Amino acid sequence: MDTIPLDLRGLKCPLPVLRVRKALSMAQAGTLLVVHCTDPMAAIDLPNLARETGNVIERQGDADGAIVFHIRKAA
């Protein structure tokens, strides 16, 4: 399966959500997006995006001063 890293550190709302939405729309089913964000709103916005689009956040946590999301593209 493919993995797409997205380094969105330094971007402010709504850019992280827009970039993740675009990456998901271009990804094949089963692709894993590994997203690094520093915008605190991403902790709210990205789970809402996943819920609205039917994709799955497999993991969410902090690393190196960023919020890290592992988002799996649904079928």
Whether 37 is a known active-site residue: answer no
Mean pLDDT of 48-71: 96
CA–CA separation, 51 vs 38, rounded Å?
A: 21
Phi and psi, residue 3, nearest 5°? -125, 130
Given a cut of 90, whether residue 75 has pLDDT beyond it is: no
- Which pair of structure tokens corresponds to residue 14? 């709504």
Q: Are 38 and 67 in contact (CB under 8 A)?
A: yes
Query: Which of 34, 39, 23, 75 lies closest to 57 in space, CA to CA?
Result: 34
The domains of the chain, with CATH numbers, are 3-72 (3.30.110.40)
Mean pLDDT of 23-40: 97
Q: Which one of 4, 9, 11, 13 is the catalytic residue?
A: 13
Prediction pTM value = 0.94
